[in-house]
Structure 1
């Protein structure tokens, strides 16, 4: 099968390749045809043929002799040829043998020879090049030199195949887009009262939440053409080509109206022009053209611009003003109910057991987006096939969640007895403090089985669905994070490298309490850091002096040190329980939350009895 993608990237290489192949084929065929009609003989054989009176005619040229043998009844004779060797007696021999001789006749005229030897090969190669390059031009929709043409792919309703029924967990976003669909279906309802269709809507949210899916669903519901293009497709190495593509895109859109134009990752061309010393002129020209086109087209014709980004803070303010992108639709991470609905959507084409509880899976995946949940369902289906089952059961889904969060079990990593004991006490330290403190999430699972993500063990808690965290809750979280290191100190009176990730997370949480949430007396409610790219990694950027930064470090250290002391105190007071649970974990390698809490509650009951 022809590899179009590979051909597109190596056009000249493949043109040369095919030209060489054609030349070789022509040469081989020509040689084969010639060999069918002619045969080479040695000069000595030629002399013998003269002596034996077997030659009818000899045609003499500068470098060879063409020998036409006498016809033999019932046989078709080949034309013979041999090299011309200096022989002053050749003419005498031919005359004596009564053999006709002369030069090779010129059958072709100069014009015909020129056409066959020069014009025809050039025409063949030009035709070949046109066929090859024409295939590429047709594939991308442009001429070879038409760099300005847009590369937007048009999706009809039958191609998208997506409606609002295929989008779950984003009810508020769908409500914001339903009006656009209704306007495209029944524009007179809105124009009669004087309402105008929003020119554009900006879909904003973290990666994987379904922004592109929503845009396709709008086109599917409205049953209109759907132009889809990425922001990076506008920016080319040729100056002015991005602006030309924008003009061409909007021209096509108005011809196809009513329709929807979707620009994915619009931040590639829509970055703010303020204080940008290293600006790209081509990108700025493209943005200016986009702004101009959005002002110039008539929205009453039914052309709607949808764009998606996960970096709204970097977009140019001129792009976000009313009259261009009139609406900002937030496509955020789904809540508990939304996750359950998304799981239902993704299980439609999967054979699942009747007793599956998707609510439990939704509860165990806080913060997961639609793409994560789709991956979980697929992993569960793969596991069911691996286990030779014909349907997915609850165990498959729960294991898939573990694989996505912590990675697969790494069976070839064998821990020594000492390491296994250290990991067990470390993980039980986390779990025990989480169980004994008030403002913490319940423990779901403790394991000391190494995973492919590098963890030698982990303690998994099930966060409750909430949108605010109090200061006491954050202090307890830090205490839980430092519980692993504290358990090592209490049991072994030494420390290891196993707490590196805990220390990193605890430091980030403590620092956020100081700089962002205003949870210290020293700085009161002063904002010392701001979060950038909150829909991506959410990196904080400092807004303070070096002196204040030093004070921030001191306050962060104080929070961590207090939590560390507190964790040590709790584990020392429950030393017997720490040892008991750790020994059980060493033996079983994995403890579920119910088993662990049963051990903790028994200990509490014993203390009460005592």
Structure 2
């Protein structure tokens, strides 16, 4: 579990010279792992492990095993016979952020501030053209967060464009902007949002080469490979002038994202207030309620074209189209698995119980939604720059208050 503390001499050729890094499974791998751990357990007919796999980007096999086991325990505690989608959703939140803190009662003032913070995240995420759909918003305390907004990625992604990162920055600062707009001062709840936004903006400048002023240059050395047992530390390899330029660029990127978040919230202040009222009343808003509330919000125009090409002129020629025969078939729930009918194949022991009650008519793809129930989402542990809980847990991607 600690390859970073191994002596590099042990990893030389002829010794332990083959290191295989195993990352978290993709959506198909997660579904397969879930099916293995689901064997022998009774599930309701509305449970779709393909949907649960999409709900858990970045989860390891052990995380997925905990999800199934936690759902079974929740079902047993509630004297249930079948594991439902609700139990699985709650178990995901428990695995990521811990159980709901029912003993922590917020004052009406603090609840209202939290509601505006989360609504600010949700509204800006909804308005940005390159962000994943908002899946759930809650002001129920869980773990170290007072509330959180969940965006659910439609597919696993391993790279991000400049426009996608800029949209994430707007989303990250939406909660802080809402506090400033409504209460005329910020709170400590946005500290993690600011930390993550700053880290991402700095990476744009120093690692990703996305600064038009400083160019496609990596600033700073960091020869760290902890999973291969090597970590040689980090050091600055640029001048004070460049350091000042980096700080200036990071500040400009953050300020631009902050300004755009402010513009969105100012333009749709009525929608923001409406969402806060429903959040205070229900505590958790699921995707159907969010779609209704946020219907008036229009997507923002794309960000300005990247201007860091120097004397190089981008081609007007479009990229080639991938032939249909080479594309991965995608199921109705968003998974690419080659199934002819778009449905997940049940493994032995996972066939639907013929005696199980039918799901409610309004279940939807994610099962029944209970207003005010403690099933608020949380940012995914990977796939997003915003995956660490703050006082207001921010969603991102995968994420991401």
TM-score w.r.t. structure 1 length?
A: 0.46
Are the equivalent residues in 2 in contact too, given 1:435–1:597 (CA < 8 A)? no
Q: Which has the higher contact order (CA 8 A, sep 6+)?
A: 2
Q: CA RMSD in A?
A: 2.4
Residue 409 of structure 1 aligns to a residue whose secondary structure is: coil
Looking at structure 1, the residues matched to 160 and 297 of structure 2 have their Cα atoms a distance apart, in angstroms, of: 30
- Does 1:271 find its partner at 2:7? yes
Residue 412 of structure 1 aligns to a residue whose secondary structure is: coil
2:341 is matched with none
1:335 is matched with 26
Looking at structure 1, the residues matched to 187 and 160 of structure 2 have their Cα atoms a distance apart, in angstroms, of: 31
1:511 is matched with 202
2:162 is matched with 471
Distance 1:422 1:531, change over 3 A: farther
Q: CA deviation at 1:576?
A: 1.1
Residues 299-352 of structure 1 show CA distances to partners (whole Å, capped at 9, x for unaligned) of xxxxxxxxxxxxxxxxx4x2xx3x555654332211110110011111124333
Residues 512-541 of structure 1 show CA distances to partners (whole Å, capped at 9, x for unaligned) of 1111111102221111143624659x9993
Give the structure with higher Rg (CA).
Answer: 1
Residues 77-112 of structure 1 show CA distances to partners (whole Å, capped at 9, x for unaligned) of xxxxxxxxxxxxxxxxxxxxxxxxxxxxxxxxxxxx
The structure with more strand, counted as a fraction of residues: 1
Are the equivalent residues in 2 in contact too, given 1:430–1:482 (CA < 8 A)? yes
Residue 53 of structure 2 aligns to a residue whose secondary structure is: helix
Looking at structure 2, the residues matched to 449 and 391 of structure 1 have their Cα atoms a distance apart, in angstroms, of: 26
- Does 1:561 find its partner at 2:251? no
Are the equivalent residues in 1 in contact too, given 2:210–2:216 (CA < 8 A)? yes
2:344 is matched with none
Are the equivalent residues in 1 in contact too, given 2:67–2:88 (CA < 8 A)? yes
Residue 129 of structure 2 aligns to a residue whose secondary structure is: coil
The one of 347, 353, 356 aligned to 2:38: 347
Residue 532 of structure 1 aligns to a residue whose secondary structure is: strand
Looking at structure 2, the residues matched to 572 and 437 of structure 1 have their Cα atoms a distance apart, in angstroms, of: 15
Are the equivalent residues in 1 in contact too, given 2:268–2:297 (CA < 8 A)? no
Are the equivalent residues in 1 in contact too, given 2:173–2:258 (CA < 8 A)? yes
The one of 85, 95, 103 aligned to 1:404: 95
Are the equivalent residues in 2 in contact too, given 1:571–1:578 (CA < 8 A)? yes
1:279 is matched with none
Are the equivalent residues in 2 in contact too, given 1:380–1:400 (CA < 8 A)? yes
Distance 1:474 1:388, change over 3 A: same
1:212 is matched with none
Q: CA deviation at 1:551?
A: 2.6
Aligned residues: 294
Residues 137-164 of structure 1 show CA distances to partners (whole Å, capped at 9, x for unaligned) of xxxxxxxxxxxxxxxxxxxxxxxxxxxx
Q: CA deviation at 1:406?
A: 2.6
Are the equivalent residues in 1 in contact too, given 2:34–2:68 (CA < 8 A)? yes
1:522 is matched with 213
2:265 is matched with 571
Q: CA deviation at 1:354?
A: 4.1
- Does 1:431 find its partner at 2:100? no
1:493 is matched with 184
Looking at structure 1, the residues matched to 190 and 239 of structure 2 have their Cα atoms a distance apart, in angstroms, of: 29
Alignment of 1:232-247 (within 5 A): none
Q: CA deviation at 1:543?
A: 4.0
- Does 1:450 find its partner at 2:144? no
Are the equivalent residues in 2 in contact too, given 1:528–1:542 (CA < 8 A)? no
Residues 247-278 of structure 1 show CA distances to partners (whole Å, capped at 9, x for unaligned) of xxxxxxxxxxxxxxxxxx6665x4225xxxxx
1:584 is matched with 278
Looking at structure 2, the residues matched to 550 and 602 of structure 1 have their Cα atoms a distance apart, in angstroms, of: 42
The one of 224, 235, 239 aligned to 1:532: 224
Q: CA deviation at 1:542?
A: 4.1
Looking at structure 1, the residues matched to 26 and 191 of structure 2 have their Cα atoms a distance apart, in angstroms, of: 31
TM-score w.r.t. structure 2 length?
A: 0.68
Looking at structure 1, the residues matched to 227 and 28 of structure 2 have their Cα atoms a distance apart, in angstroms, of: 21
Distance 1:401 1:337, change over 3 A: same
Q: CA deviation at 1:582?
A: 1.1
2:151 is matched with 461
Looking at structure 1, the residues matched to 226 and 255 of structure 2 have their Cα atoms a distance apart, in angstroms, of: 29
The structure with more helix, counted as a fraction of residues: 1
Distance 1:450 1:326, change over 3 A: closer
1:359 is matched with 50
1:545 is matched with 238
Looking at structure 2, the residues matched to 380 and 570 of structure 1 have their Cα atoms a distance apart, in angstroms, of: 38
Are the equivalent residues in 1 in contact too, given 2:114–2:146 (CA < 8 A)? yes
Are the equivalent residues in 1 in contact too, given 2:206–2:217 (CA < 8 A)? yes
